[in-house]
Amino acid sequence: MSGKLKEVRERISSVKSTQQITKAMKMVSAAKLRNAQNAITQMRPYAQKLDKMIKNILSNIDPSEGSSFGVKRELKNVAVVVITSNRGLAGAFNTNIAKAAYTLYEKYENIGNTGNLTFYFIGKKGLDNLKKRIPTATINTDYIDLFNDLSFDNIAEVADNLMTAFDTSELDHVDVCYGEFKNAGVQNPIAIQYLPVPKVQGTKQDEKSSNVDYIFEPSKKVLLDQLVPSILQTTFQKFCLDTHASEHGARMTAMDKATENAGELIKELKISYNKARQESITKEILEIVGGAAALEN
């Protein structure tokens, strides 16, 4: 019986240590989430407005007169950019993004016979999840450590490289999979077309309202050559900041739940310990009473 009591005491001590770790990780993620959430909530309205503007412009001009980033081509060389975190312990956050990316792999898998399918990974968890599941795709890890420094210059460099590859026809299509931040408890895995810039889609009323005759000053080409890449850089920055905030939100929620579960387990173990201790005491009392009765006889 003493061995069982010792085992339960050790389990209680182990769970308490784990609970302290999960509680500390929750507090760290909460602090990081505050900054990450501020960054994405401040830039999201700006990025969404720019995204709407570029789609409207490229939908209402002749492709031969506008930017090459809106030209739809035959799918021969396709890229999928998978943006996840570098660390785990964030619930199903990274797994859900990987599932969205794998759905795109199944969609484009046959392209490998006539062209090339390339997966670009930003964040190590996406690579860990998918590297053995996408055998016909080319894996590119040049940007996997981008989360070490999410400055605009570093993000813009990745976006510029993708745009250059698209502009020179090295890539015909680029999709991005990332985590869209809603709040600390909700992060949605999103798979979205990045290049070519998708045209405005919606109701006939929406299309009618977006059909605008734009006046360009300076010339259309000069303006679009400067405006479109800048907007695409901002859009890609939104993808990264969304994922960054989502990571900390998911980890904070996961660690909060883990802390609660550890507390419940400690309660159950204490009950088991008290029961075992009571059994031990009862057994000792019975032995004493039995011994006393034997002496009397």
Q: Kindly state whether residue 32 falls inside one of the protein's structural domains.
A: no
Query: Same domain, yes or no, for 107 and 172?
Result: yes
Q: Kindly state whether residue 31 falls inside one of the protein's structural domains.
A: no
> What does the block give as tokens for 280?
């031990």
Q: Kindly state whether residue 30 falls inside one of the protein's structural domains.
A: no
pLDDT at 209: 47
User: What is the pLDDT tens value at each position of the chain, 297 positions in all?
Assistant: 567 788 888 999 999 999 999 999 999 999 999 999 999 999 999 998 988 888 887 777 766 666 788 888 888 999 999 999 999 899 999 999 999 999 999 999 887 666 799 999 999 999 999 999 999 899 999 999 998 899 999 999 999 999 999 999 999 999 999 999 998 889 999 999 999 988 765 544 444 445 566 677 777 777 788 888 999 999 999 999 999 999 999 999 999 999 999 999 999 999 988 888 888 888 888 888 887 777 776
Query: Same domain, yes or no, for 246 and 264?
Result: no
Query: Same domain, yes or no, for 172 and 58?
Result: yes
Query: Same domain, yes or no, for 161 and 196?
Result: yes
Q: Kindly state whether residue 125 falls inside one of the protein's structural domains.
A: yes
> What does the block give as tokens for 34?
């505050």
Query: Same domain, yes or no, for 85 and 134?
Result: yes
Task: Report the 10 Å Cβ neighbour count for 125.
Answer: 21
Domain that holds residue 270: 2-24+254-296
The Cα-based distances of 144 to 68, 116, 202 in angstroms read 28, 20, 35
Q: Kindly state whether residue 240 falls inside one of the protein's structural domains.
A: yes
Number of domains in the chain: 2
Query: Same domain, yes or no, for 77 and 149?
Result: yes
Query: Same domain, yes or no, for 145 and 192?
Result: yes
Query: Same domain, yes or no, for 229 and 275?
Result: no
pLDDT at 13: 92
- The enclosing domain of 15 has a CATH number of 1.10.287.80
pLDDT at 1: 57
Query: Same domain, yes or no, for 66 and 169?
Result: yes
Q: How far apart are CA 176 and CA 178, in angstroms?
A: 6
Contact in structure between 89 and 172 (CB atoms under 8 Å): no
Query: Same domain, yes or no, for 220 and 272?
Result: no
Q: Kindly state whether residue 121 falls inside one of the protein's structural domains.
A: yes
Query: Same domain, yes or no, for 63 and 169?
Result: yes
- The enclosing domain of 162 has a CATH number of 3.40.1380.10
Counted residue by residue, the chain has a size of 297
pLDDT at 289: 81
Q: How far apart are CA 217 and CA 210, in angstroms?
A: 20
Query: Same domain, yes or no, for 113 and 242?
Result: yes
Q: Kindly state whether residue 35 falls inside one of the protein's structural domains.
A: no
Rounded to the nearest 10 degrees, what angle do helices 220-296 and 93-108 cross at?
Answer: 130
pTM: 0.85
Q: Kindly state whether residue 72 falls inside one of the protein's structural domains.
A: yes
